[in-house]
Amino acid sequence: MTERFFLYDETEATKTRYVSFMGDHQRFDLALIRTDRYFGKCIVLDIQGSRFAIIGRDDLDEPGYLEHIFKLSEAEAAELRDFLYEVV
């Protein structure tokens, strides 16, 4: 077996917030991971949908971004976007 080549192997303390809320169109079960790793952006995990993204305020302003990443309708993404603007 060849020697494993790591690009990086680091451990960092993170802060994780678990949030579950019911919107008008969908229930959201999220884990929000704060880390210094991604230039102040937050790792957002959709626990029920098995999807995740590294999100900052600039990403929330990008048309269609949440719809694409989390496979949401416009209305569902608007609910998630409203919440994420409060916490990201």
Note whether residue 82 is domain-resident.
yes
User: What's the CA gap between 2 and 28, in Å, rounded?
Assistant: 43
**Total domains, the chain:** 1
Within a 10 A sphere around the Cβ of 54, how many other Cβ atoms?
A: 15
Note whether residue 79 is domain-resident.
yes
Note whether residue 65 is domain-resident.
yes
Note whether residue 49 is domain-resident.
yes
Note whether residue 3 is domain-resident.
no
How do the pLDDT tens digits run along the chain, 88 residues long? Answer: 789 999 999 999 999 999 999 999 999 999 999 998 899 899 999 999 999 999 999 999 999 999 999 999 999 999 999 999 999 9
Note whether residue 64 is domain-resident.
yes
Work out the end-to-end distance of the chain between its first and last CA atoms, rounded to an integer number of angstroms.
43
Query: Which residue, 29, 34, 41, 28, is CA-closest to 16?
Result: 34
Note whether residue 57 is domain-resident.
yes
Note whether residue 5 is domain-resident.
no
**pTM beyond 0.75:** yes
Boundaries of domain holding 42: 15-87
